[in-house]
Structure 1
């Protein structure tokens, strides 16, 4: 289990869902199928624990940035357009 917002080198996977840890954000991508069986319950429990830890990180850091525009400044994607090398 990762420690949310603690570092830039932790990641974990639940099903095909990938969770990457960074000091300023958590990146979650992929998909997960939760079946009504023991494996599905285990994956749901992992998701529950992870989201609980993320929410606790917000509670422990009341000075977190509530400014949406600041968060957009930290976006990994550039607004710069580049030529498509395949055309």
Structure 2
């Protein structure tokens, strides 16, 4: 089991679901079929444990990394006026 947000080199797999650990994010991709059998139960337990650890990491954090998208309204605009080269 990975320790969420602890490093950039851990990964794990549950079924065909791949979970990659990074310091600033957790990447989850793939798919998983949870069958109503012993194997499905074990995979569901693993998912539950993993999501619990991820939530605990958020709750134990003093503050989140600010990854909110910047406004693009002025992000690509300069306050400087330039001459139009096509005129």
Calculate the TM-score normalised by the size of structure 2: 0.76
Shift of 1:68: 2.1
Alignment correspondent of 1:75: none
User: 1:3-82 to 2 correspondence within 5 Å?
Assistant: 3-65=3-65, 67-69=67-69
Alignment correspondent of 1:2: 2
Give the paired residue count.
70
RMSD: 1.3
> What do the CA deviations read for 1:20-58 (whole angstroms, capped 9, x no partner)?
000000000000000000000000000000000000000
Calculate the TM-score normalised by the size of structure 1: 0.76
Q: Which portions of structure 1, spanning 4 or more consecutive aligned residues, are displaced by more than 3 angstroms?
A: none
Greater C-alpha radius of gyration: 2
- Please tell me whether the aligned partners of residues 24 and 65 of structure 2 are also in contact (alpha carbons under 8 angstroms): no
Q: Which runs of 5+ in 1 are unaligned?
A: 71-87
Q: Structure 1 or 2: larger helix share?
A: 1
